[in-house]
Amino acid sequence: MGVRAVAALVLGVFAFHSTAFAQGNNSHSHDHKGHSHEGHTHAKPGIRKAAPPPVVQETHSHRVETESLFGFVSGSDIGHRGDRHLSMFYETHFGKRDGTFRAQQPKVEFGYNPTDWLHIALEFWGDHFKIKNVTDFDDQNRWGMGAAIEFKVQLVKRGPSSPVGFTVVLAPHYGNSEHHTGEAARHYALELGLAADTELVKDKLFAAFNLQYEPERVRAKGEEEWERESLFGVSGALMAQIAPGFFAGGEVQYFRKYEGFFLNEFHGYALYVGPALTVKTGEHSTFTLAWAAQVAGRAVDDPRRLDLDHFERHRVRARFSTHF
């Protein structure tokens, strides 16, 4: 529900001191390893003192990490062992065929990397629904809340050995709102995803690809029956560095809505397209703003263009992310 930051890779910096030798003249080395101040003892000609091994210092090279680079799409980078993450999101979905529909969700995420390949995060959010005079929807003006725990496992790290990075995502959710209608409900969901990305032009142009599958179990307040639904999504993004620390690009998202946990009965689809902008606000922090508009879609029982029964017309996301 991010974008985040510049990290560091390890390079070696080597330095050592060599000794001079006295060969056929009265000169001597001023390296303190070549003589003693107490007896002013010179190293014997022809005997070479072993030079100390190179001193290796770990430093960090600046490279673009993709964890918080994109808007709605996720990158494969997850940070490094010991990193702590803080992300703050604001997301809103709005627009139906008639009336007023607006869903808002402020969210905060705390994350930690116990290893280089595993990221664990806790997410807490509130959601507010303002719905009035929308056909087939009850009027709503209410706040809800929810929480999730997210696991990201980096299968392949993008770098010299692999031009493409791969990360899998698993995140169980619980909330007290039905996200489609805004009604009070018990809402369980399990987000399963795959994030892949690559660097098309070094430090300049990046591409990402996501797969998403999300089964849900929902029971509206006062109802006896549980509803079982699922969502399948495919997304892609391109981001280019247009100035130092400034990235701009576009994203495409395609979603299909089903009844049943396992994509059983197709209900409708929506295609979103929109721009994204990411600004590096500090050495380890980023701010991202993205907007997506539904440009194609259709519900099964509605011949009209766009699926505004199961999806909204517009989506906007703002995110601030930092590592420390």
pLDDT digits (tens, 9 = 90+) for 259-316: 999 999 999 999 999 999 999 999 999 999 999 999 999 999 999 999 999 999 999 9
Q: Does residue 257 lie in a domain region?
A: yes
Q: Does residue 40 lie in a domain region?
A: no
Q: Does residue 151 lie in a domain region?
A: yes
Q: Does residue 212 lie in a domain region?
A: yes
Burial of residue 152 (number of CB atoms within 10 Å: 0-12, 13-18, 19+): buried
Radius of gyration of the chain (CA): 28
**What does pTM read for this prediction?**
0.81
Q: Does residue 44 lie in a domain region?
A: no
> Would you say residue 45 has pLDDT above 70?
no
pLDDT band at 41 (very low <50, low <70, confident <90, very high): very low
Q: Which two tokens stand for residue 221?
A: 């307040």
Q: Does residue 50 lie in a domain region?
A: no
CA distance 185 to 179: 9
**What is the domain extent for residue 271?**
71-323
- The CATH number for 109's domain is 2.40.128.130
Q: Does residue 5 lie in a domain region?
A: no
Q: What is the mean pLDDT of residues 1-21?
A: 35
CA distance 248 to 314: 19
Q: Output the CA angle 268-269-273, nearest 5 degrees.
A: 155
> Would you say residue 42 has pLDDT above 90?
no
> Would you say residue 209 has pLDDT above 60?
yes
Q: Provide the domain count of the chain.
A: 1
The neighbouring-strand residues paired with 81 are none
> Would you say residue 177 has pLDDT above 90?
yes
- pLDDT at res. 108: 98
- pLDDT at res. 63: 83
